[in-house]
Structure formats: C-alpha cells, structure tokens
Amino acid sequence: MSTLSARHIPLSHLAPWLLAVPALLLLGYLVLMDNGAVSQTGGYLHELMHDGRHLLGVPCH
C-alpha cells in the first residue's frame, strides 16, 4: 500500500526566491510606474528610471 507524503522543501532553498521576488517587483515598479513619486531624491535617479521606461518601450509622456 502506498501513501502520499508531502514533499518538504528546506527554507534554505526558498530564501533566495523570498528575497528576489519582492526586489524584482520593487524594481519593476520603480522603472515602469514611479514617475517621480519615489525617486524624488534627485534628477539622476529620475532620469535613469525615465530612460529605463524608454528602453523597455513603455510610454511615459
């Protein structure tokens, strides 16, 4: 008789994903949606995000 057993994944295998996914979501927000709401620290960061939008083909103005 066979029984189904749950497969346990160690936390050490999940840790990189638990860090990478929120970081990628934040980066995606900053590049695609920010428009200066977060990047008001100076012109350089705003221009970097603006150029990233153009590079990805996202309309921004």
Within a domain: 40: yes
Within a domain: 25: yes
Q: Is residue 53 over pLDDT 70?
A: yes
Within a domain: 49: yes
Percent of the chain with pLDDT over 70: 74
Show Cβ contacts of residue 35 under 8 Å, excluding neighbours closer than 6 positions: 60
> 33: alpha, beta or left, given left = phi > 0 and alpha = psi -120 to 50?
alpha
Within a domain: 28: yes
Contact between 39 and 45 under an 8 Å Cβ cutoff? The reply is yes
Within a domain: 39: yes
Task: Report pLDDT for 22.
Answer: 92
Q: Encoding tokens for residue 15? A: 């840790």
Within a domain: 1: no
Q: Encoding tokens for residue 19? A: 């860090």
Within a domain: 61: no
18: containing domain: 11-56
* pLDDT tens figures, 31-47: 777 666 665 666 777 77
Quick one: average pLDDT of 4-29? 82
pTM check: above 0.75: no
Task: Report pLDDT for 41.
Answer: 62
Domains of the chain: total: 1
